């Protein structure tokens, strides 16, 4: 296709290559880096302006265990919040999109907890990764199968915590719920 255009341009004595037809090498390279982010996620040797361009094109479905500790670029987290949680406002989350994402992600994890060992292992791993980014948590439906003492244990910066227990208590009595202590170590 391009060879045909070049030949045609030479016959008509026109400019051979137009700016629209050719992508810059830097654009191609940045696209490759963002497409292969999982192979080299640290981007250590990249200038900040190029990192931003890579972050703007990274897919949002990479594991949170990789992206959360490495990406501090707010527009990436804004895209992630809008895509995953349909959130358009981060003012309730310290005006930080990364904090907004973290608090909504933890809310979703705790709400969907199903008491399996794999689920508990995943939650504790994510709690550890996000522990400095959680300040306000509101858990709308909460199963008593999740040990709520984990919340203040991991999230040392938490200033506001609202819990609502699920009506489905799974063979637990309200007395069992009240015996779980919310204490900070």
Summarised one tens digit per residue, pLDDT across range 110-139 is: 888 877 776 788 899 999 999 999 999 998
Q: Average pLDDT of the chain?
A: 83
Is the predicted pLDDT of residue 159 greater than 80, yes or no?
A: yes
Domain range list for the chain: 91-185
Burial of 8 (0-12, 13-18, 19+ CB in 10 A): exposed
With contact defined as beta carbons under 8 Å apart, do 61 and 42 qualify?
no
What is the pTM for the complete model shown?
0.77
């Amino acid at each position: 296709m391009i060879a045909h255009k070049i030949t045609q341009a030479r016959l008509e004595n026109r400019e051979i290559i137009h700016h629209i037809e050719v992508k810059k090498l830097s654009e191609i390279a940045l696209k490759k880096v963002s497409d292969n982010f999982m192979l080299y996620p640290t981007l250590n040797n990249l200038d900040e302006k190029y990192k931003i361009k890579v972050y703007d094109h990274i897919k949002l479905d990479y594991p949170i265990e990789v992206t959360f500790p490495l990406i501090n670029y707010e527009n990436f987290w804004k895209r992630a919040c809008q895509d995953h949680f349909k959130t358009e406002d981060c003012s309730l989350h310290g005006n930080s999109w990364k904090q907004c994402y973290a608090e909504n992600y933890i809310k979703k994890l705790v709400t969907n907890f199903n008491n399996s060992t794999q689920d508990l292992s995943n939650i504790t791993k994510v709690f550890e990764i996000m522990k400095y980014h959680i300040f306000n948590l509101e858990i709308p439906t909460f199963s008593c199968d999740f040990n709520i003492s984990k919340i203040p244990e991991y999230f040392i910066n938490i200033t506001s915590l609202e819990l609502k227990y699920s009506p489905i208590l799974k063979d637990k009595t309200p007395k069992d719920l009240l015996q779980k202590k919310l204490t900070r170590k």
